[in-house]
Amino acid sequence: MSKSADANDYSRFKDIVDSDEEKDAAASTSKKAANTAVSSPCRNCSKADAKLKCSICKKATYCNRQCQTGDWTYHRRICKKPEDKTKADDAARSKPRTVEGAAAAASGSSSSTSSRATTKATKPVRRDVVKEDEDLENARGYKNGMPYFHREQSEHEKSLIGDIAPKKIEVEPTLAAAPSATHDGSAWNTAGTFEQRDFTTWATDRLKALLGNVEVTARSFTIRGGNVKDVKGDASVCVVRGKKRFLFDFEFNIEWTVVGKDGYNGKLLCHDISNDGDYEIAVQYKKKPSDALESKELAAAVNGQAEGFRHAVLARIATFVTEYQAL
C-alpha cells in the first residue's frame, strides 16, 4: 500500500538549486546595492557620486566645497554631531530596569539576598523622646495654633497692661484760655505780627530843638552853634515778633562860630546818624587862624573827642535817642 505525500512538506525541495539566470539577477542586485551604499547624491545639486561629507554630522554629502557652502544655511539647522557609541552604551546601562526585568532579577537573586540578610546585622532603631520646652507654652503658632497677637494673655500680663479698652468721652473739653497779650504792638495786633509807625516829623523837630544854639567853651575858645540845616532822613518804630525796634537814619549840618575872635567859623557835617550808633561826623572850616598853634587849638576845641563842640553835639544826640526809645 502506497503512502500519501504531505502537501505541506517542503523538505523535498531542499536539493533544488537556483538556476543560472536567478544567480545572475541576484548578483546584479547586490552590486547595485553596494554601489548605492558607496556613492550618495549631492545634497545641494543632487549629482551622483558625491564624496565630500559634512565634517560635523558625517551624513550629508556634497560634490564640491561650493555646494557645501551654499547648503550650510539650511543644513546647519539639522546638523548634529553623532553620539559616541560608548557613551550611548553607558547611558543605556545607567537607565533603571523595567518592572519585568527587576522582577526577574529579584527572583534570580533572591537566594543571594536572603543569605546576605542573615549575615548582615540589623541597624538599631532610634527611640528618642522629645521633651516639651517650658517656653513653648506661649509660643506663636506651635501649641495653641494661634499667632502671637491672638494668643491668650496671662493674669500677670493683663495686670501690667491695665484697662486699655476705648472709652467714650462724656464731658466736652473746655476751650483753652486765650493767652494774654505780652507784645509791644498795638491792641489790634494780638498776634504780634509786623507793625510800623512813622515818627519822622517828631524826630526832625526834636533834633532841631536839641541841636540848635549849642554853646560850649574849650581851649580858650567859645563856640556857638546855629540852627540845624539840611535835615534828611526818616524815623519809625517797628514791631517785629512782638518787640519794638526804634529805627532812624538822619543827616544834617550845624553851622558854628567862634565868639570874640576874628570871625572863625565853619560847619559840622553830620552824616549817617542812625540807630546803630556808628555816627559819621566831619568838620569843615570856612575861616581858621593862620597861626599853626592857634589852628591846632581851634581844631581841638571844635572836633575834640572828650570836650568841645562835637562832644556837646553827641551828648544832645544821646538825649534824643533816650527820648525816642521812651515812646
Residue 232 counted as domain residue? yes
State the total domains in the chain.
2
**pLDDT value, residue 293:** 92
Residue 110 counted as domain residue? no
Residue 125 counted as domain residue? no
Residue 176 counted as domain residue? no
Segment 212-235 mean pLDDT: 93
Q: What are phi and psi of 3, to 5 degrees?
A: -90, 135
In tens, the pLDDT along 275-293 reads 999 999 999 999 988 899 9
In tens, the pLDDT along 16-58 reads 555 667 767 777 766 665 555 456 889 889 888 888 888 888 8
CA atoms within 13 A on the CB side of 171: 3
Residue 7 counted as domain residue? no
In terms of average pLDDT, the best of 69-83, 147-161, 174-188 is: 69-83
Query: pTM for this structure?
Result: 0.44
Residue 164 counted as domain residue? no
Q: Give, in order, the Cα–Cα distances in Å from 294 to each of 122, 221, 261, 288, 289.
A: 136, 10, 11, 9, 6
**pLDDT value, residue 74:** 87
Residue 35 counted as domain residue? yes
CA gap 22, 271 in Å, rounded: 146
- Three-point CA angle 222, 225, 229, nearest 5°: 165
What is the grid cell recorded at 319? 538825649
Contact 298, 289 (CB under 8 A): yes
**pLDDT value, residue 104:** 46
- Residue 140 clears pLDDT 50, i.e. is over it: no
- As a three-state string, the secondary structure of the chain is CCCCCCCCCCHHHCCCCCCHHHHHHHHHHHHHHHHHHHCECCCCCCCCCECEECCCCCCCEECCHHHHHHHHHHHCCCCCCCCCHHHHHHHHHHCCCCHHHHHHHHHHCHHHHHHHHHHCCCCCCCCCCCCCCHHHHHCCCCCCCCCHHHCCCCHHHHHHHCCCCCCCCCCCCCCCCCCCCCCCCCCCCCCCCCEEEECHHHHHHHHHHHHCCCEEEECCEEEEEEEEEEEEEEEEEEEECCEEEEEEEEEEEEEEEEECCCCCEEEEEEEEEECCCCCEEEEEEEECCCCHHHHHHHHHHHHCCCCCHHHHHHHHHHHHHHHHHCC
Segment 138-149 mean pLDDT: 54
Which residue, of 75, 100, 121, is where some domain finishes?
75
Higher pLDDT pick, 223 / 143: 223
Segment 259-267 mean pLDDT: 86
Residue 95 counted as domain residue? no
**pLDDT value, residue 198:** 94
- Residue 315 clears pLDDT 90, i.e. is over it: yes
**pLDDT value, residue 275:** 93
CATH of the domain at 280: 3.15.10.20
Arithmetic mean of pLDDT over the chain: 78
- Residue 99 clears pLDDT 50, i.e. is over it: no
CA gap 234, 248 in Å, rounded: 6
Domain residue limits at 25: 17-75
Q: Would you give the distance in Å from CA 41 to the centre of its chain? A: 70
Residue type, 121: A
**pLDDT value, residue 229:** 94
Which residue, of 75, 104, 124, is where some domain finishes?
75
Segment 237-260 mean pLDDT: 91
Which residue, of 50, 75, 100, is where some domain finishes?
75
